[in-house]
Every structure is written in C-alpha cells, then in structure tokens.
Amino acid sequence: MGRKNSTLWNFFFLNVGFIISIINGVLIVPLYLHYINSSLYGAWLATGNILTWITMVDPGVSGVLLQKMSFAIGKNDSEEVGLLVTSGMVISIILFILAIILGLILSYLIVNIAKIDRLFDKDIVSAFRISIWGTGFYLISHTFAGIILAFQKTKLVGLVNNIVNVLGIILTITMLINGWGIFSLSYAILLRGVSIFLCTFIISTILLNKNNIKYRYNLNYIISFSKIFSYTFGSRIFETISSNIDLIIVSRYIGTDAVTILDLSRRPIKIITGLANNVTISMLPALANLFGSSEIEKLRTITVKIWIVILWISGFIISGFILFGQSITTNWVGKEFWIGNLNNFIMCFSFLLLSIGYNLSNVTYSMGDIKNNSLISIVRNIFYLIFLLFLTQWIGITGVLLAFLIPLGILLAYYPQKTFKITNLTSDDLKKIIIQSLVTGGIMIFCMFLSIKLSIVLSWTTLIIFSIGYGLLYLAIIYSTSNLFRESLFEIRQTILNKI
C-alpha cells in the first residue's frame, strides 16, 4: 500500500476508533453509574491508574520499532528489517514477563496506595488481577502492530483494533446487565488484550513471510538497539506515572467522589481532542518512510499542512467545549459533576497546547529525533509531578489542572523551532502558521467571553442546534482567513468530480 493510501486508511480507522471510544468512554458511562456504586466506580478509576503503571516496563519498543522499520523499508534494507523485527520481539517477550510480575506485586498494594474503602477492596483486587493479563497482552501486541504498520498495512491494524473494541463493549454491557458489576470492565480488558495480541501476531508473521524477511538474531545488535531505550525508557516511566497518578492523589487528598468528578469532567474533551491527534498518528508510518526516501520538499509541504490542520481541528474542538462544556456534562451525567467555568477554561487551554505540542513531537519523532523527544518528555513530567503534589493539596481540583497546564510551556519552547529546523520551513510558512494561530486564539477568547456572559445549560436538542450553528460559523471564519483552506476544498471538490 502506498504512503497516501496508508495514511488515509489509518486516519479513517483512527476516527472509527474515536467513535467507539466515545461510546465506551462517554455514552455508556451512565450505564456504569447505574449498575456500579459511584464510590466503587471512583475506586476502580483510581486503581485503573495503577494498572497502567505496569506499562512502565515498556520503554517504547513499538514506537521506535515502527520508526526504524519504516525508515529501513524506505531504503529497501531488508537485512536491517530482519534484525529490527527479531530484536523487537525478543525485547517485547521479556517486557511482557516483567509486566505480569509487576502487576501481581502491585495487586497487593493497591488498596493502601489509592486508599480504597474496605467495603470494596476484595472486588477491586480481584478485578485488578484479571485486568493485569489483558494489559500485558495488549502491551506486547503493540510490537506486532508496529511491524504491520511499518509495511504500511494500516487497514489491517485498524480492522483488528476496532472489531475487538466493539466486542469488548458488547461484553461489558452484557455482563453489567447480568450483575457482574466491576468485573464486567476487567473481563473486557482481558478480552481486548488477548484478542488483539493473537490477531497482530498472526498478521505480522504472514507479512514477514510474504515479504521474504528473514529473522536475524544478533545479540550485539539487540544490545545496540536497546541503547536507544535508555532515553525512551525514562520518558515512558515519567509519562506513565504522570498520566496515571493524578486520580490517585485526588483520591488520597480530596476523596473518591472528587475522582469521579474530575475524570468525568475531562473525559469528553480528552477523547475528542484525539481527533486532532489522529492527524499525525495516522501519518507516523508514512512520515518515517518519506524521511527515509529523502523527499525533503514534499516533507516541508506536508508539515505546514499538518501544523495548520491541527490548529483548525483543535481550535474547533476546544472552543466548542468552552461554549458547551457545562451543557454536555449536565445532560450527560448530571450537574453535580460539572467542574466549573474557571476549571473548564484551564482544562480547555491545556488540551489545546497539548494537542499542538503532541502532534509536533510526532513529526520530529518520525524523523529520528527520538533522544530529544524523550528528554523533553522527562523534564515536562518531572515538573508536572512536582506541581501536582503541592497544588492539589493547596487548591484542590483547580491545582490538578494548573499542574497539568504550566509544564506544557516546555513543549512549545522546543517543538516548533525543532520542526522548523528539521523540515526546512520558510518565512512564508511561518507567516501562515502565525495567522492561523491568531485566528484560533481569537475565536477561543470570544467563546470564553460568551460562556461567562451567557451561563445557560442547554437541552440536548438545543445543544445540537447551537452546535451546528457554531460549526458553520467556525468554518466560515476559517474559509475567509485561509487560502490553504480554500485551496484544500477546491482540491477535494476536483477529486470527487474526477471520480464521478
């Protein structure tokens, strides 16, 4: 499959996955709260953070393997591909064993770590141990998925992930209705992990055989390959801890009810901003392959488009949550879970900056800037953990959100200038990016003003109508301020007419 088709299929399935995640993480949450006690659910969320800690044993094998393999395939170096595949598999098997051992050790500690009520401890520990195996298999499946993606077979990975996730949702709902409670969530994790592992393992094996890639075991090469992880491992440790410790700290210092409020308030925006992140995630295999083929001018053009499209999509999503966040939360789970206007503004601004920094980091990572990406991640997360510990105790949930926001400045201080340097962007490219940044910022500020002045909770019907109006107005503003947007619409129109 060519780079363009690979990217399009990857983007398509990532967005199908986004719809599935909306169903799983948003739409059926009221079902969770109906069949599971809210305090028990809060305890599960906190221990779910601990469950993710076992992924710390993975130093980022799949990401490095994908980048290196795509680059090697771009150069038609089949010997290098064979060495990479064998090294990745050996390292992943070792990590799988370590993950299971770490998970079982943590299962004896989770009650005290998250300060779980003794009424729930037995169920939580049992469900946690079931989930360990699902998480372990899901972890090792990333390596085999990386092999498939490196061959630009993004359609296969997308089909497997989305089919298995749908089956997981069906299992969860069925078990909830039949009284399995919190175990319905843990068995769904087990199903997803085992199923995705088996499918990706079989598909990657077939692809390697079809492309005549020979497994090449070389201990010195494995050691050399592992040295890359001295940076990515530190990055993964801090990333995993920082991404999965806030709910535990909230549970300890504020209470499990506050855990539920914080998690439910930010879950919709966290999931939906994935739409912007899907732009570069879908291009990871193609970007590394393109860089390996040394097509520099094409790389520059694509990078500018990526940057501006990220601004458009993330600006649209974030401004929408500024306007309608209270109505969404109130209609979805109830007004008692609304986090407040100030906290919502902090949260929205944080996710905008994170989206820009994250996507630019994907661009630089695809082009081999693995070491610096890892160091930036480590520094940012160290600052986050320090701020989180102190600000949570001083100002509660607002402190949690500020602790997340402040260190994002590190991303913006590094990735924009690094992206310019690697892809040779011009002054005209910079001008286009600045204009669209100002437009996006202006829309956000105006939406903040409206949300303060018009603090009204809309019904679902009214919310849909206003959202459509907001979407049309946003598109009109972008259309009137961007030549690139108008040119892109013309290209899409011509493509459709040519196919007709």
Secondary structure E strands in 300-397: none
Q: Where are the alpha helices (DSSP H) in 54-120?
A: 61-74, 78-107, 110-113
Cβ–Cβ under 8 Å, residues 270 and 351: yes
Same domain, 398 and 483: yes
Same domain, 263 and 143: no
Per-residue model confidence as pLDDT tens digits over 229-241: 666 666 767 776 7
Same domain, 256 and 203: no
CA-CA distance, 277 to 219, in Å (whole number)? Answer: 36
CA dihedral 15, 200, 152, 99 (to 10 degrees): 80
Same domain, 80 and 186: yes
Residues contacting 466, CB < 8 A, separation 6+: 323, 324, 458
The alpha carbon of residue 454 and the mean position of all alpha carbons in its chain are separated, in whole angstroms, by: 32
Per-residue pLDDT at 301: 83
CA angle at 265 for the pair 263 and 266, rounded to the nearest 5°: 70
Please provide residue 393's backbone torsions phi and psi, each rounded to the nearest 5 degrees: -70, -30
Same domain, 296 and 382: yes
Of 201, 227, 253, at which residue does a domain stop? 227
Tally of structural domains, the chain = 2
Same domain, 148 and 8: yes
Of 227, 249, 276, at which residue does a domain stop? 227
- Position 246 pLDDT exceeds 80: no
Per-residue model confidence as pLDDT tens digits over 363-415: 888 777 777 888 898 899 889 989 988 898 888 889 989 999 999 999 989 99
Rg (CA), the chain: 23
Tokens 């799949």 label which residue?
A: 62
Same domain, 221 and 245: no
Of 198, 227, 256, at which residue does a domain stop? 227
Same domain, 13 and 114: yes
Same domain, 160 and 87: yes
Same domain, 456 and 315: yes
Helix pair 154-177, 121-150: axis angle to 10 deg: 160
Computed over every residue of the chain, the mean pLDDT equals: 83
Cβ–Cβ under 8 Å, residues 12 and 158: yes
Same domain, 53 and 79: yes
Give the residue, 244 or 98, on which the prediction is more confident.
98
Range of the domain at 38: 1-227
Burial class (CB in 10 A: 0-12, 13-18, 19+), 494: exposed
Same domain, 318 and 195: no
Per-residue model confidence as pLDDT tens digits over 273-327: 777 777 777 676 667 666 666 667 777 888 888 888 889 989 999 999 999 988 9
Sign of dihedral through CA atoms 190, 117, 271, 69?
negative
Instruction: For residues 433-456, give the mean pLDDT.
Output: 89
The alpha carbon of residue 333 and the mean position of all alpha carbons in its chain are separated, in whole angstroms, by: 23
pTM of whole model > 0.75? no
DSSP letter at 25 equals I
Residue 162 burial (CB count, 10 A)? 16
